[in-house]
Structure 1
């Protein structure tokens, strides 16, 4: 079994990657270096993990002993850093949102196709016994057709959170709570319910002095004909995430855990005894998928070892960015937006608010 050497770029969210994956899976990965522009974070990581620290991203890309570049920087940096790391022949892991437009996602996909390295976006909330069990039931055809779903993201962020300069702006964060916080549970919803065909969205800023939205709702129609509703807010006194999925044969309800909504056990309701027995037998046979970053990185290691595609793909990130694009376009115009967008649609270059921010 190979051990892959990793450089983590960005030591905010990146510390979670290190603690839950690189340090937790020592037979599969070795943290070789860390990179950050902040001296305090860099020195703390050097001391905590006993590894080399640097501010020079390009120098890390030039090293032959780095196999994986783990990008955890602010969203506006993802595109140039991902492209540079793929050009250097590295495997690349990148935090959400992978990019700020469908055009940029396409550029990343083209760069991956030219590179010996693979690109894996981060959607760690898929990894938990609750979400993975639901996916196995859907894949087995036991859930039946999808009917309706709701996703709720009610988190709390204070003024200190938004005091970090890149947060809360269209130009650097690329969006608000729909882009930064609720993207996880929305990915899980479409991963289980199927592709989205139409979106009507509303957004507002109710609590924070920021450019981007802190409150949002959306109505979805899936390609299957099922319907969905999304709500997100980051000034809620009660922090929770909740996903409720109604299928023909079973309903799934997640935990309320805000930062590990995929974790089990999820509540399942199954009225038909025969289907209940089949689902019970399937569930009993499932392996432990691991939680969050541990589960996703372990699955990535397996893919690298077997030559399989990454367990989360650029196509998965494209679906998430397509949903965001349609949401922001709808909120801007007051009209429903249908997917997929035509190749010539100007929305593929970015949602209106972000485009204005980048032009400023």
Structure 2
């Protein structure tokens, strides 16, 4: 299948690599308003370059378009691509507002094209193992969970482009960094019922938040805490999810949530637990998440099924982030 990329910044490199590593996919075109950014894709992948999206969609034989622009531009581009009858892989967050997200999802439905949102952490080996444990009910009922993303993004990171850290085009630590962990939290725990949040912009010269602390009540009755920041000195400190159940306690953690830091289950022997831990340690990254997303999109088209991470999944986690923002703004709990 023929792929194209719109927006040739940092994250586009991961998409290009994932496409090249997928047997049944090839990169045929790229589009960006800044011509120099497309040189890499011309030289390494033989992609044709375009400054105009409409021209690319008209001239190229494209099956799937990967949207890698700043988040605030996702909606207008995605609707245009869907109307051109092309399937879409869109970077997180799916959009910056629920209205824009709805317009993307509806455009894809009307034009009968597939829509996949890039939440690649779902495909990490440790996350896949945790999902198996959850699906088997080995934790029993859940009392509470903890979600932590304490990372470093220095001022230099935000100064790379004028859109970084803005509320209109980028968002803060919840929208940009912690959204991956929040997606996993919803994947494990189901829908939230109520949130309360406080946020601040402490160290970085940006419009959005660089630190956020929040609580969640899930529909199941379980409670959760969320702690996220880009203010940690001098480098990434922790990314983790801890789940406390009546029959077990599990923590996946490290600086990138790649390992089982704690795994204790009533209905699993020590040898079984050790085997799971060792299998994850042997290959903690596994197949790159973006490659999973690209391969899954190809298979979803061939099998005529929904992609693994749908537009509705992207909308659900965006709704959670926006609810945290609303709660912090109003300084009171928000019902979802």
Question: Common fold, TM-score beyond 0.5?
Answer: yes
1:40 positional shift: 2.6
Q: Compared with structure 1, are the counterparts of its residues 298 and 289 closer, same or farther at alpha carbon in structure 2 (3 Å cutoff)?
A: farther
1:48 positional shift: 2.4
- Pick from 325, 328, 349: which aligns with 2:325? 328
**1:267-286 superposed matches below 5 A:** 267-273=262-268
**1:91-240 superposed matches below 5 A:** 91-163=87-159, 164-173=161-170, 175-237=171-233, 238-239=235-236, 240=238
RMSD: 2.3
Contact 2:150–2:228 (CA under 8 A) maintained in structure 1: yes
After superposition, the C-alpha distances for 1:319-338 in whole angstroms (9 at most, x for unaligned) are 11110121011001111001
Find the aligned partners of 1:72 and 1:201 in 2 and give their Cα distance: 29
1:245 positional shift: 1.5
Find the aligned partners of 1:298 and 1:246 in 2 and give their Cα distance: 33
Segment drifting more, 199-208 vs 242-251: 242-251
Q: Does 1:253 pair with 2:251? A: yes
- Pick from 30, 34, 39: which aligns with 2:30? 34
Normalised by the size of structure 1, how large is the TM-score? 0.84
Contact 2:251–2:260 (CA under 8 A) maintained in structure 1: no
Find the aligned partners of 1:325 and 1:279 in 2 and give their Cα distance: 39
SS at match of 2:329: helix
Find the aligned partners of 2:13 and 2:169 in 1 and give their Cα distance: 21
Find the aligned partners of 1:290 and 1:147 in 2 and give their Cα distance: 32
What is residue 63 of structure 2 aligned with on the other side?
A: 67
Find the aligned partners of 2:80 and 2:16 in 1 and give their Cα distance: 22
Segment drifting more, 48-57 vs 83-92: 48-57
What is residue 289 of structure 2 aligned with on the other side?
A: 292
Find the aligned partners of 1:132 and 1:296 in 2 and give their Cα distance: 14
The runs of 5 or more residues in structure 1 that have no matched partner are 340-360
1:300 positional shift: 2.3
The runs of 5 or more residues in structure 2 that have no matched partner are 280-284
What is residue 343 of structure 1 aligned with on the other side?
A: none
After superposition, the C-alpha distances for 1:92-118 in whole angstroms (9 at most, x for unaligned) are 011111112222222222111101211
Number of residue-to-residue matches in the alignment: 326
Q: Does 1:5 pair with 2:10? A: no
Contact 2:195–2:216 (CA under 8 A) maintained in structure 1: yes
After superposition, the C-alpha distances for 1:25-58 in whole angstroms (9 at most, x for unaligned) are 1x12101111222233211222222221121111
1:23 positional shift: 1.3
SS at match of 2:325: helix
After superposition, the C-alpha distances for 1:72-97 in whole angstroms (9 at most, x for unaligned) are 00011101011111111000011111
Q: Compared with structure 1, are the counterparts of its residues 304 and 276 closer, same or farther at alpha carbon in structure 2 (3 Å cutoff)?
A: farther
Find the aligned partners of 1:156 and 1:111 in 2 and give their Cα distance: 37
Contact 1:137–1:279 (CA under 8 A) maintained in structure 2: no
1:250 positional shift: 2.7
Find the aligned partners of 1:33 and 1:135 in 2 and give their Cα distance: 36
Segment drifting more, 269-278 vs 146-155: 269-278
